[in-house]
Chain A
Amino acid sequence: MTDLLSTIWLDDSDPLRLSLQQWELLLSQAARSSLLTRLSRLLTDRGLMAQVPSVVAEQLVGPGVLVARQQIEVVDEVERIRNAASKCTDTIILLKGAAYLVADLPPSRGRLFSDIDLMVRREEISAVESALLGAGWISQERDAYNQRYYRRWMHEIPPLFHVIRASAIDLHHTIAPPTSKFRMDATQLYAHLVPTRFENVFTLGPTDMVLHSAVHLLQEGEFDRGLRDLLDLRDLLTYFSQTEGFWESLQSRAKVLGLQEPLCFALFHLHRLFGFCAPASCTALALEVDQWALRHPFFNWCLALAIKPDHPSCNSLFSAFARWALYVRSHQIRMPVYLLIPHLLRKSWMNVFKHDELKERAKENARMTDAVKQLA
């Protein structure tokens, strides 16, 4: 059995040559990687939807309904967030998926959402959190250590969930943890914001959006979404580079923000996976960054394994190890070793007892939801 999903996005892939059995496997891998509707979009864009086997086309209808609904709901939620948070801030910045959607950028087409990523000024974050609490979004992180860890060391607070609609918000104050190798002063990003159709709601500028996506890929350690993130990046680069001078501004912006390494890392893997070619001037940037970090054979081997669908047909003996190694490295990028080791030890200890804690939390959430529903 093989990874059919990673190669289907190549320009010269030929989905019509797949056997029915291969289609079944491809759909299953795509479902596991939340890329079913991205696959529909590929087939539609290439004009192949009418030629694929009818069982395959039928199987793609349901997920399409789900995504269409989700996109409507995400826009509604953004408006609700704006209404709640506008009391305490005039600048709400959408990041990642929600930004692509509201700005109507290509990666949003056929993209599933797991949460809505927002950024506000650091000094406004408590006020915004309270305003969101007032509107029904609560933090479900009950563990004191995790709460402290997020608030002290991270670039975001623990995720907030809406008590009735269950929508999730990740509230950031910058795009990389303050202890990260790629830390930055978020105010630098505010100079290039792009307004959206919602008052007080912005997205990052094109270059910053690409750079954030690249940083995210390198530091988040959630490689089950690695393939989706790389596809997002490819879409963004293809779209923005239609504007004259985009590559030059991307390059100089990467230098200003000190994000050459994540950018080169992303370009390297876009080329390796999809044969995506950036102009030579941009790839030359790679010579300025730490070659060892960029072409680290071990981590590239891990990434190649981890980026495959987390599906029984693709998992090898080393997949779990590779994902773990990347998880550790993503943390190492986020914080120095003297913080990292105690944190990971603490996390593994907590993991051992996770089961009971999850049950407790589920019970508590159910109680909470009931209470809120009764009030409503």
Chain B
Amino acid sequence: MRLSQISHDDLSHRLAHKGLVIRTGPFTFRLVSEHPHVRETIGRLYAHYPVFDSEAFSHYTVHLKHGPGIRRWLRRQVRFGYEGSFPFEPLPYTHAYPQLEWAMNWCISTQAHQYLIFHAATVERNGRAVIMPAPSGSGKSTLCAALIHRGWRLISDELTLISLSDQTVQPLVRPVSLKNKSIAIIQAYVPEAVMSDVTLDTVKGTVAHMKVPDAHIVDMAIPSTPTWVIFPKYVANAAPQLTPVSKAQTLVELAKNSFNYGLHGNAGFNALGRLLDSCDCFSFEYSQLDDAMEAFNSLLPPEQLVVS
């Protein structure tokens, strides 16, 4: 059953009591919150995701609770609760939805060490994936949001999960997180995109989350093969330019952008080495999304572009 098939009252009831059990990529989350904005945004962005009844097994339970003490009523706050602990400081009440997304990311990045996890966006076309590791502000999410509305399939916008045994990438397919100026840029570039409300003044600035196209959610169990690693960089007025980067340099950069590369030791090094054996690596400067679409499409053999 998909979330859009349950009634509004049922959704509220699940979220307020035993939790909404919902699947995203390989993980099942149990989400518990009485926050009206969280409920409304989940209804909007997660409409096409599979949901299960409350007796189903979930990997992680995320509680969004009210603030401690008086902050339940006065200058209200929201707090992420996990297994009886509170991993983060409380946030203002209006930051509840981004907090939920960050809490879900935290669950995965701190615990799902069955994968090699990178801070990177990944998109795919015709079974070949582009991994885009990059620090915040490099425009990777903007690029990712645009690409997935121009023929590429979303694997993940924030956490890239690599299998240690065969180096395939496992889709996570969560709403794409957009920050600051990129919100308006994507709204203009993809007018049909469904967005959450904008949250102002978070630690990452202004944030909004974008709904993933339904077809990508349907395909979220299908892994993909990494074929390119591209380090994107937005540079004002720059002409689009793909520049090859050595595999050694790419390995170091990927390791830096990993949540658990160090934990895996030798196995991590070998897996990353094998991953890069079959990848071409580039840095990519751009200023216009249309140029970027063209550059990414140029990676594929022309006949494949016609088919899709």
Given contacts A28-B83, A310-B84, contact A66 B113 (CB under 8 A): yes
Interface presence of A139 (CB below 8 A): no
Interface presence of B304 (CB below 8 A): no
Query: Can you name 12 extra interface pairs (CB under 8 A) apart from A23-B57, A24-B30, A56-B57?
Result: A21-B55, A21-B57, A24-B57, A29-B83, A55-B57, A55-B59, A62-B111, A63-B111, A65-B263, A69-B265, A310-B84, A315-B84
Point out the residue from A20, A62, A310, A312 that lies within 8 Å of B57, measured CB to CB.
A20
Interface presence of A293 (CB below 8 A): no
Q: For A315, list chain B residues within 8 Å (CB).
A: 84
Interface presence of B262 (CB below 8 A): yes
Given contacts A65-B264, A66-B263, A69-B262, contact A24 B113 (CB under 8 A): no
Using C-beta atoms within 8 Å of the partner chain, give the interface range for chain A: 20 to 34
Interface presence of B61 (CB below 8 A): yes
Interface presence of B299 (CB below 8 A): no
Q: What residue in chain B is nearest A64 (Cβ atoms)? A: B113
Interface presence of B85 (CB below 8 A): yes
Point out the residue from B85, B111, B112, B114 that lies within 8 Å of A32, measured CB to CB.
B85
On whether the beta carbons of A69 and B263 are closer than 8 Å, the reply is: yes
Minimum CB–CB distance for A165 against chain B, Å: 11
A 19-44 contacts with B by CB, 8 A: 19-21, 23-24, 28-29, 31-32
Minimum CB–CB distance for B248 against chain A, Å: 22
Mostly, the B contact residues are loop
CB<8 Å pairs between A and B, sample of 12: A21-B55, A24-B30, A24-B58, A61-B113, A61-B114, A65-B260, A65-B264, A66-B263, A69-B263, A69-B265, A309-B84, A310-B84
B 254-274 contacts with A by CB, 8 A: 260, 262-265
A 47-67 contacts with B by CB, 8 A: 53, 55-56, 58-59, 61-63, 65-66
Among B30, B55, B111, chain A packs the most CB atoms within 10 A around the CB of B111
On whether the beta carbons of A65 and B114 are closer than 8 Å, the reply is: yes
A 339-364 contacts with B by CB, 8 A: none
Q: State A66–B111 Cα separation when bound (angstroms).
A: 8
On whether the beta carbons of B113 and A65 are closer than 8 Å, the reply is: yes
A 286-314 contacts with B by CB, 8 A: 309-312
Interface of B with A (CB < 8 Å)? 28, 30, 55-59, 61, 83-85, 111-114, 260, 262-265
On whether the beta carbons of A312 and B55 are closer than 8 Å, the reply is: no
Q: What residue in chain A is nearest B108 (Cβ atoms)? A: A62
Given contacts A20-B57, A23-B57, contact A62 B265 (CB under 8 A): no
Q: State A53–B59 Cα separation when bound (angstroms).
A: 13
Q: For A61, list chain B residues within 8 Å (CB).
A: 113-114
Minimum CB–CB distance for A355 against chain B, Å: 10
On whether the beta carbons of A72 and B265 are closer than 8 Å, the reply is: yes
Minimum CB–CB distance for B154 against chain A, Å: 23
Q: State A29–B85 Cα separation when bound (angstroms).
A: 11
**Which 5 pairs show the lowest CB-CB distances between chains A and B?**
A62-B113, A65-B113, A61-B114, A20-B57, A311-B84
Q: State A28–B30 Cα separation when bound (angstroms).
A: 12
Given contacts A62-B111, A69-B262, contact A311 B83 (CB under 8 A): yes
Q: What residue in chain B is nearest A313 (Cβ atoms)? A: B84
Given contacts A31-B83, A66-B263, contact A53 B114 (CB under 8 A): no
Q: For A59, list chain B residues within 8 Å (CB).
A: 59
Q: What residue in chain A is nearest B264 (Cβ atoms)? A: A65
On whether the beta carbons of B83 and A32 are closer than 8 Å, the reply is: yes
Q: State A29–B82 Cα separation when bound (angstroms).
A: 11
Minimum CB–CB distance for B19 against chain A, Å: 10
Minimum CB–CB distance for A6 against chain B, Å: 15
